[in-house]
Amino acid sequence: MSRLKDIHDYLISVGKKEEELLKCDNYSVFLSMEICEYAHRNQKRENGEDYANHPFRCLGMYREFVGIIENDPFCIDKDIMLKHGIPFDGVQELCLLHDVIEDTDFTVKDLEEIFDECGLKTYFSLYIETPLKLITHKKSDDYDEYISQVLKHPTSSLVKMLDLYDNLNPTSLNQLNEKEEKRMIDYLSYVIVINRAYDFVNNMNKYKKEFENDKNN
């Protein structure tokens, strides 16, 4: 049985309106927001903030990275993005869902059923399922091997780079001791490894230049 009703019941209990949720269910990004907020509802970061703030920040970083502006359908060009190796489909959703399988009791099958119930199963299968599996870290796996796994797909790679970048923020910690300093250095090295593999930063600059040129011509 799908868990969508549980998600709706919880969100209604914290002030969301049912009619708005039913509308949001038709859109993969908004549905992912619902799942994220519910799945991480009882979790906190080391500094005491709500855990869901982290995936939402990853979403915000991606939107800033590619230039997404709310309610502006002409703010990006997907074809030019893809031409320059910047993934779009599934990225916003993965920003929101990247820790759901790893850190909550949700399974990939649960998510598939939720997306299916909302008429979005094909989108989930095409753009979310594979990178979601790749970005999910089994605690028993060596981290270097895990990063190699992540690198198998551009969407999981870009989202992992954003995830690591957000985790480099020292204000997310209770204390900055030697152990945490080493962890931050490791995270930065993985950010570099991922970017070297896909050249996201340079490719993003190429995309922005071509996009601006097209708009001005």
Instruction: Say what the pLDDT of residue 110 is.
Output: 97
pLDDT given for residue 46 in this prediction: 80
Any idea which fold 4-216 has? Hypothetical protein af1432 (1.10.3210)
Number of alpha carbons in the 13 Å side-chain half-sphere of residue 24: 17
**Pick from 55, 51, 29, 50: which is nearest to 159 by CA?**
55
Find out whether 37 and 51 touch, Cβ atoms under 8 Å.
no
pLDDT along the chain (217 residues), means of 10: 90 96 97 98 89 97 96 94 97 98 96 97 98 95 96 98 91 74 91 98 97 89
Residues 182-195 have pLDDT tens digits of 888 999 999 999 99
Q: Which residues of 23-61 are buried (b: 16+ CB within 10 A; e: fewer)?
A: ebbeebebbbbbbbbbbbeeeebeeeeebbebbbbbbeb
Q: How far is it, in rounded angstroms, from Cα 216 to Cα 137?
A: 44
pLDDT per residue as tens digits for the range 61-70: 999 999 999 8
In angstroms, the CA 38 to CA 182 distance is 32
Position 5 scores a pLDDT of 95
> Is 44 in a helix, a strand, or coil?
strand
